[in-house]
Amino acid sequence: MTISRRKFIKDAALASAAFTIVPRHVLGNGHVPPSDQVNVGVIGLGKLSRYLTKALIEHDGVQVVAGSDVWNIKRSWFKEQVATNYAELRESTSYHGVSTYADYRELLAQSDIDAVIVSTPDHWHAIQAIDAMNAGKDVYCEKPLTRTIREGRELVNAANATKRVVQTGSMQRSWEDFRRACELVRNGYLGELSRIDVNVGDPARAYDLAEEPLPYGVDWKAWCGPAGMLAYNHRLAPPSNNVEFWPDWRLFREVGGGILADWGAHMFDIAQWALDMDRSGPVELVPPEDPSAVRGLKMKYANGVVVAHTDFGRGWAVRFHGSEGTLDVRRQFFETDPPGLKDAELKPGDTRLRDTGRDHIGDWLNAIRTRGTPLCDAETGHRSASVCSLANIAYRLNRPLKWDPVKEQFAGDDEANRLAME
């Protein structure tokens, strides 16, 4: 039996209140002295936590002190992984200071933890990030920031109310090629922009994996949480991190947003950044005529630019179409036609975007210490995740939709609004 996600978030927030403890730094003014060590806990100890933990330990003044996961084996693995990272990166062979918890709320109750990374499956992001902020913790939340538009707005509201620093894990914004591409577009070096092609994976689908025996050592009810009880399958949630594939929870609308959202939170995010739409979004969505198609959606912005979800033959990538040429960018290349466009030098007075030196985690840590705004804050992450949610809704309903990015509502479509507010 599936329960309301809205009710689950409300009940979870009430339950977490019992664990809320004021953190060790001064919560009243939200200031962490630059000299103060940042103690970090990690919620969700899957494959991705390997890279996030390493990125943390590479920074001085940071200590990884706790982790939480519903899998026994992943909690044990995390302790070993952190010790290995400290040995390799800080030449320390004696670090054994990591505590682990099956219930993330027990981690949040620790007064010596200043900040948390949320790297659980998407359906838990909003609940855990909001609980963390209410417990006085700053948050780095993996992308997409939330699974639904309503969840995203609630997360943003919590960030504003608590004054916590929130960084979304859309780390491509910290990569030079993507920043450079957006600067060229923003400053008109491609001429008048007409269309942006974005190729990412398929929309989300209903969960359809066959049930398998539940492995020992997992609280499956807690893993499912607000999604309701799903049949266990190792592709959905492998019992170990020692697997070559990324877990398939990303594919299913009950717990994720399809690869459209998984990679769209990277690539649609770059389109949003280039369009200077970090506080807005598209106003019209037109799905392909074929109801079975998984490409072909067009999203129109108020400035007339169309963002198309289409495969233009270059993998997961973004192509900008301007009156003076095109620009293709993905993690493996940065190319323009004509070729010389990519080498254009910005002029005095041109818009320059923040250069983090490819250190997305470091940008978050700096914002924690200065109480500043990180590169991909809660509103920015919410708006990029919203584009992915809007696209999924348009594919699912297979009809044109009008979207008001200010009110965050569809015009005259109750069914679409219900899906947005799940």
pLDDT of the chain, 422 residues: tens digit per residue: 344 555 555 555 445 444 433 333 333 334 444 457 999 999 999 999 999 999 999 999 999 999 999 999 999 999 999 999 998 888 776 676 899 999 999 999 999 999 999 999 999 999 999 999 999 999 999 999 999 999 999 999 999 999 999 999 999 999 999 999 999 999 999 999 999 999 999 999 999 999 999 999 999 999 999 999 999 999 999 999 999 999 999 999 999 999 999 999 999 999 999 999 999 999 999 999 999 999 999 999 999 999 999 999 999 999 999 999 999 999 999 999 999 999 999 999 999 999 999 999 999 999 999 999 999 999 999 999 999 999 999 999 999 999 999 999 999 999 999 999 99
| Of the options 1.10.1740, 3.40.1620, 2.60.120, 3.30.360, the CATH number for the domain spanning 173-204+257-363+383-420 | 3.30.360
**CA 267 to chain centroid:** 12
| Cβ-proximal residues to 144 (8 Å cutoff; 6+ apart), any chain | 122, 125, 257, 261, 262, 264, 265, 381, 384, 385, 388
Length in residues, the chain: 422
Q: Could you give the CA distance from residue 294 to residue 79 in angstroms, rounded to a whole number?
A: 41
CB crowding 304-341: b at 16 or more within 10 Å, else e = ebbbbbbbeebebbbbbbbeebbbbbbeeebbbeeeeb
How far apart are alpha carbons 121 and 257 in whole angstroms?
A: 10
Q: Write the CA distances from 287 to 45, 62, 131, 391, 413, integer angstroms.
A: 37, 46, 36, 8, 15
So what's the pLDDT on residue 30? Answer: 42
- Collect all residues with Cβ–Cβ distance below 8 Å to 148 and sequence separation of at least 6: 5, 126, 389, 419, 420, 421, 422
Cβ density class 60-87: b for 16+ within 10 Å, e for less: eebbbbbbbbbbbbbbebbbebbbebbe
pTM listed for this prediction: 0.92
Q: Where are the domains of the chain?
A: 5-172+364-376, 173-204+257-363+383-420
Helix or strand holding residue 68 (H, E): strand 62-68
Which value, in Å, is the radius of gyration of the alpha carbons in the chain? 21
pLDDT at residue 90, as a whole number: 84
Note the CATH architecture for domain 5-172+364-376: 3-Layer(aba) Sandwich (3.40)
